Structure 1
Amino acid sequence: MNSVVIEQPGKLVIQKRELPLPAVGEVRVRVKYAGICGSDVHIYHGHNPFAKYPRVIGHEFFGEIDAVGAGVDAGRIGERVAVDPVVSCGHCYPCSVGRPNVCTELSVIGVHRDGGFSDYACAPAKNAYVIPEAIPDPLASMVEPFTIAANITAFLQPTPRDVALVYGAGPMGLTAVQVLKGVYGVSQVIVADRIAERLEMALESGADRVIDNTSLSLQDELEKLGIRPTLIVDAACHPAILQEAVKLASPAARIGLLGFSGDASSVTQQSITSKEISIFTSRLNSHRFPQVIEWMVQGKIDVSKLITHYMDAADVEAALTLFEKDQRHCCKVILKF
């Protein structure tokens, strides 16, 4: 089989490998489609502190089960499945309170262990979620990206009364927009970004208003509109955003952070406690696949709005470059295997 391998930072090869055998409790998936994420690019460049090399990347993937390991019902062969990349121990404190995404022994498929940019990939059977026929194959790998929005909004508990501000109109920001509008019915969703084409994508995904803050002051623009956001999602992940978000937020607001920057954010206790602002962080997802699959079937989210390119897996290097460099015209790239 062919596998996309990052042998070391900056060195990508398509490598011939032996067909993997599923271990006890695992299934083997014949991969059909896999999405490119920013973390794949970070691993490629050596900027992901969690990745081990050499590594088969890819954590957003869909396919069909073609083999099972010991302890797995053979009746699962032939199932169409999307794979949750979060592999947890099931018994540590985070796992015991429903937070497997921060398991003390966390392993992420495509980061800590080989992922889905391969003709075949193995995963725990419990991580392979059946995809209903209502969801076509080319869209099924999009379940995982929307679990990120599902996870942060589960903490934020949006309501129709909220006025939401989303920083960033990249893939993560756009999933948040769709979930806020389509699932929770938030009354007004505002998106701030510095790329006009991405802001247009935000409108297409349901944003009520967009602000290009390339040269404008976001604070001034919101003040002109008489808006103090009650809910803020940072999907741009710049360390300076938290301080601004706290300043812009309404008293009693909730702020959700999706960032992974190692740089310090400057914020005072007084600025948070004086408004009694709640700050939530979110990493990956905690068993959100069934929820997102249901949203897709019910039509509450439209994952196709984020997909701008389908490319053959053989062209993965060009696809990664396109995803990284052309943010004006590229949002989600889906690889075909």
Structure 2
Amino acid sequence: MKSIVIQKPNALLIEERPLPAPAAGEVRVKISLAGICGSDSHIYRGHNPFAKYPRVIGHEFFGVIDAPGEGVEAGRLGQRVSVDPVISCGHCWPCSVGKPNVCTSLMVLGVHRDGGFSEYAVVPAKNAWTIPDAIPDRHAVMVEPFTIAANVTGHAQPTDQDIALIYGAGPMGLVTVQALKGVYKVKQVIVVDRIDERLEMAKRSGADWTFNNAEQSLQAALEEKGIKPTLIVDAACHPTILQEAITLASPGGRIVLMGFSSEPSQVAQQGITGKELSIFSSRLNANKFPVVIDWLEKGLIDPDKLITHSFDYHHVTDAIELFEKDQRQCCKVLLTFGQ
């Protein structure tokens, strides 16, 4: 089989590898589609401190089970599946309180263990979620990105009375817009970014108001309109954002941090306790695949609004470079395998 392998930073090869056999409790998936994420680019460029090389990247992928391992129901053969990349032990303290995404022995497919940028992948059977026939392949491959939004909203518990502010109109900001508007019917969603084309994507995903803060003050604009956001989601993750979010938030509001920066953020505690703000962080997803599959079945979200490009996997280098360089026109890029 052919696999996309990052041998070391900035060294990508399409390599011939032996067809893997699933171990007990595993299934082998014949990959149809995979999505490119920023973390794939970071591993390729050597910017992910968790990655071990060589590595088959890819943690957003969809395909068909073509070999069940020992102990796996034979009826799973031929099932269309989307794969949860979060592999957890199931018995440590985080797992016991419903946080397998921060398991003490966490393994993430495509980061710590070979992922889905390959013609075939072996994964734990419990991580291969069956996709209903009504959900098309190109939506099924987008389940994982939307689980990031499901995890965020699981923390924040939005209501239809919320006024939400999202920093960043990249893929993670946009899936969150769709979840807030399509699933939770949030009263108002405001998106701030510095790229006008990305703000247009936010509008297509349901944002009520977009704001380019490259040259104008977001704080002044919100004050002029008398808006105090009750829910703020940081999908941009610049170290200056947290203090601004604390300043802008309504008393009793919630702030969710979606990503991370290694640079410190300076914050005044008084702003947090004075308003009794709740600050959450969100990493990967905690058993959110069935949640998103349900959203797709009910038509509450639309992955097509995010998918802008598709490449045969042989052109993966071109696909990653487009993803990295064209933030104005490019949002979600899919790789096709064996179609």
TM (normalized to structure 1)? 0.99
Structure 1: distance between partners of 2:322 and 2:292: 27
3-state SS of 2:291 partner:
helix
1:224 counterpart residue number: 224
Tell me the alpha carbon deviations over residues 275-324 of structure 1, each in whole angstroms, 9 at most, x when there is no partner. Answer: 10000000000000000001011010011100000111000011001001
User: Does structure 2 retain, via aligned residues, the 8 Å contact 1:5–1:12?
Assistant: yes
Q: Which residues in structure 2 correspond to 1:131-150 (within 5 Å)?
A: 131-150=131-150
Q: Which residues in structure 2 correspond to 1:30-41 (within 5 Å)?
A: 30-41=30-41
Structure 1: distance between partners of 2:261 and 2:86: 20
2:185 counterpart residue number: 185
1:10 counterpart = 2:10 = yes
Across the aligned residues of Structure 1 and Structure 2, the Cα RMSD in angstroms comes to 0.6
Structure 2: distance between partners of 1:24 and 1:208: 49
1:296 counterpart residue number: 296
Q: Which residues in structure 2 correspond to 1:1-337 (within 5 Å)?
A: 1-337=1-337
Q: CA deviation at 1:261?
A: 1.1
Structure 1: distance between partners of 2:154 and 2:275: 22
Structure 2: distance between partners of 1:137 and 1:87: 23
User: Does structure 2 retain, via aligned residues, the 8 Å contact 1:178–1:301?
Assistant: yes
3-state SS of 2:5 partner:
strand
Q: Which runs of 5+ in 1 are unaligned?
A: none
One-letter amino acid of the counterpart of residue 83, structure 1: V
Q: CA deviation at 1:138?
A: 2.0
Tell me the alpha carbon deviations over residues 167-222 of structure 1, each in whole angstroms, 9 at most, x when there is no partner. Answer: 00000000000000011110000000011110000000000000011101010111
Q: CA deviation at 1:137?
A: 1.2
3-state SS of 1:267 partner:
coil
User: Does structure 2 retain, via aligned residues, the 8 Å contact 1:150–1:292?
Assistant: yes
Identity within the alignment, %: 68
3-state SS of 1:250 partner:
coil
Q: CA deviation at 1:23?
A: 1.1
One-letter amino acid of the counterpart of residue 299, structure 1: G
Q: CA deviation at 1:139?
A: 2.0
Q: CA deviation at 1:263?
A: 0.8
3-state SS of 1:296 partner:
helix
Structure 1: distance between partners of 2:274 and 2:206: 33
